[in-house]
Amino acid sequence: MFPPVIFNYMLQHMPEDKIDAPENGFNFLDPISPSEIGFDIDGVVADTMEAFMRIAREEFGINYISKEQITSYWIEECLPVPLDIIKTIISRLLADPFGIELEPLPGAGEFLTRLAVHGRLTFVTARPAKETIEAWLVSILSDVSHGDIKVIATGHHSAKAEVLEELKIKYFIDDHLETCQDLHKRGIRTIVFDQPWNRGHTPFLRISSWKDLSGIIKGNEI
């Protein structure tokens, strides 16, 4: 059972009318087995938006945007940045995580390294190709065997559900609300990694840091 502080955290981050709602499909009193959970990468493991803003500032002189302004997953809908610049930066984010010095979100590398002791880590991303981001993950998880890091690139958010079903993943952490909703409909229990672009009323458990996962996944040492 969760320590009281973790359970209280969960209740505080769920809308009151959803705490006991049957459609939520999430038993908060049963910690998750490490083998049952999968992870998105951008916005969950990788601090992709920090890299986006840094490139915009350093290379294009755009110093008037902040992360809190990114209120939509689709950047062009919420930032006053020319579309051609947005496309250029995104292309670089996808192609060269090392060159743009992509950093992990605080605590991600440490938590995943500890989790890997219990089995293979599974990452499912909507990126079009896995090679560059897989190499980046291997680099930040240097104490984890490459064979224990599985990365699947679906090319589209809507393709994640089928992949996760095939892998028998029961829980998934993502920052894209539409993906969370799609997975929920397919019976995959979703956890939202809190970001400015996914705020709002949802029936899903929401975490704001990797530290929040410590009391949710089985294993006192995680």
- The CATH number given to whatever domain includes residue 42 is 3.40.50.1000
Identify the segments of the chain with pLDDT beneath 70.
Answer: 1-30, 219-222
Domain membership flag for residue 155:
yes
CB within 8 Å of 8: residues ≥ 6 apart: none
Q: Give the residue from 142, 192, 147, 208 showing the smallest Cα distance to 26.
A: 192
**Whether residue 59 sits in one domain with residue 143:** no
Which residue's entry shows tokens 């350093």? 58
CB 13 within 8 A of CB 71: no
**Quick check: helix, strand or coil at residue 124?**
strand
Element (H, E) at 33: none
**Whether residue 117 sits in one domain with residue 8:** yes
Q: How far apart are CA 145 and CA 19, in angstroms?
A: 39
Q: Give the residue from 163, 205, 202, 140 showing the smallest Cα distance to 40.
A: 163
**Whether residue 147 sits in one domain with residue 162:** yes
Which residue's entry shows tokens 């990788």? 46
**Whether residue 173 sits in one domain with residue 157:** yes
Q: How far apart are CA 119 and CA 212, in angstroms?
A: 20
Domain membership flag for residue 79:
yes
Domain membership flag for residue 174:
yes
Domain membership flag for residue 221:
no
What tokens does 90 get? 């995104």
Q: How far apart are CA 90 and CA 87, in angstroms?
A: 5
Residue 23 has what pLDDT? 40
List strands edge to edge, sheet with 171-174.
149-153, 121-125, 37-39, 171-174, 189-193, 205-207
Residue 216 has what pLDDT? 83
Residue 31 has what pLDDT? 75
Per the structure, how many domains does the chain have? 2
**Whether residue 62 sits in one domain with residue 168:** no
pTM for this model (two decimals): 0.85
Residue 117 has what pLDDT? 93
E strands in the chain? 37-39, 121-125, 149-153, 171-174, 189-193, 205-207
Domain membership flag for residue 220:
no
**CB-side neighbour CA atoms (13 Å) of 155:** 1
State which residues form the domain around 77.
48-95
Q: Tally Cβ neighbours within 10 Å of residue 75.
A: 20
**Whether residue 71 sits in one domain with residue 175:** no
Q: How far is CA 94 from CA 3, 9, 11, 82, 104, in A?
A: 39, 34, 36, 19, 15
Looking at the chain, the whole-number percentage of residues with pLDDT higher than 90 is 77
**Whether residue 11 sits in one domain with residue 113:** yes
**Whether residue 210 sits in one domain with residue 190:** yes
**Whether residue 119 sits in one domain with residue 14:** yes
